[in-house]
Amino acid sequence: MEKDKIKFWHTFDFPELQTKGEDNSPVKLLGLGIPEDLTGQRVLDIGAWDGYFSFVCEKRGAKEVIAIDTIAWQQSDFGSWKNGTKKEGFNYARELLKSKVLDREIEIEDVSSESMGEFDLILCLGILYHMKDPWKIIRNLCKMTKKIIIETHTDGNYLSVPAMMFYPEGYRGDKSNHWGPNMFCLQCMLELEGFKITKIGYGNSRCVIHAEKNVETK
């Protein structure tokens, strides 16, 4: 498919590829704090969509990057990005960049060390609030990696206890939005899985959490 016929979600600012997507990906990248040097690392990008962050990790030296998605690659009416072109953006970028990023169309609930092995870094960006059981997702991912970066919608940060807000009718018109965990809740869930929080950033209703497996955890 020709570039001008693809409705990109991600905004690419690479020398080889520039696009104008709904998501301001370069600005988001600055806030995510993905390590500049990923030499030799194995990386999993969950909910990759057009693959911007997958390709960034490859450019930063990752020896293997696996991008996974289902809904964004299979449904053109997903979420707020109506009438999209599904996987064409990812495929176009990968071909143009001559990338070796691997793709797997697998449900996030089915991601496990048995199905995909172990990773040095997992990116879980804009995913948890769409999951019916975000606690299960965190438990599974923590078994697979040494480090995880989570970016998510949050709610209830004014509470002094860990909590998640449930949206039975969706959130902001999107019925695929189910949960709004507060940052304390995310921190507690990660710590219960033997991870230590190394970085927290937040703005408005979003947050970014970096966590690494505690070396003392057996």
- The answer to the question of residue 218 being in a domain is no
- The answer to the question of residue 83 being in a domain is yes
Distance, CA of 209 to CA of 6 (rounded, Å): 32
- The answer to the question of residue 92 being in a domain is yes
| 38-94 confidence digits (pLDDT tens) | 999 999 999 999 999 999 999 999 999 999 999 999 988 877 777 788 999 999 999
pLDDT for residue 23: 94
- The answer to the question of residue 173 being in a domain is yes
pLDDT for residue 135: 95
- The answer to the question of residue 24 being in a domain is yes
189: three-class secondary structure by DSSP: helix
Query: Does pTM surpass 0.85?
Result: yes
pLDDT for residue 142: 97
β pairing state of 147-153 and 206-213: antiparallel
- The answer to the question of residue 10 being in a domain is yes
Residue 55 belongs to domain with CATH number: 3.40.50.150
pLDDT for residue 47: 95
Total domain count, the chain: 1
**Residues spanned by the domain of 46:** 3-34+41-213
Distance, CA of 120 to CA of 158 (rounded, Å): 33
Is 45 within 8 Å of 62 (Cβ atoms)?
no
Instruction: Give pLDDT < 50 ranges for the chain.
Output: 218
